[in-house]
Amino acid sequence: DHYMNFGLIKKKEISTVIAKPHNLPVWVEQASITSNSNLVNTIKMGDPIDLEIIFRADKPITKPSVGYIISSTRGERILNANNIYQGSIEYAEPVTCGKIICQLGIVPLMPDRYFVSIWMGEENA
């Protein structure tokens, strides 16, 4: 804890805006964590967790694919999922942007810091 807090600037942002990566046709533009319909940067034990992802695509797509990994500060993978393997809504008409909400429910995480890694693509690509 002391090492993790040393020189750490406490961020007030509760949403991350991401610049378009080079050469990727589909990407995450913004990612947020919500709990009980509120944007948060801290989750209390027993609270539900949702990941809200705003995506963009160079060309219209109908079936965006998103995956995420929650890891400990030591790099241990705690939880991962991908909507390729789970039921997911498909857009009726092709879109170049949209919002995906991954409802994780109550995740039994112990008090600590965690990292969320997000992958974005198109299922048919």
DSSP H helices in the chain: 2-5
Tokens 């600037």: give the residue.
9
Contacts of residue 75, defined as CB under 8 A and 6 or more positions apart, other chains included, come to: none
Task: Report pLDDT digits (tens) over 53-94.
Answer: 999 999 999 889 888 999 998 999 998 888 777 666 678 899
Task: Report pLDDT digits (tens) over 93-122.
Answer: 999 999 988 888 998 888 888 888 888 888
Task: Report pLDDT digits (tens) over 18-32.
Answer: 777 778 889 899 989
- Residue 20 sits at the vertex; the CA angle it makes with 59 and 123, to the nearest 5 degrees, is 45
Tokens 């963009």: give the residue.
56
Tokens 């995906």: give the residue.
100
Alpha-carbon distance of 108 to 45, in angstroms, equals 7
Tokens 């809200």: give the residue.
52
* Percent of the chain whose predicted confidence (pLDDT) is above 70: 82
Q: Say what the pTM is.
A: 0.77
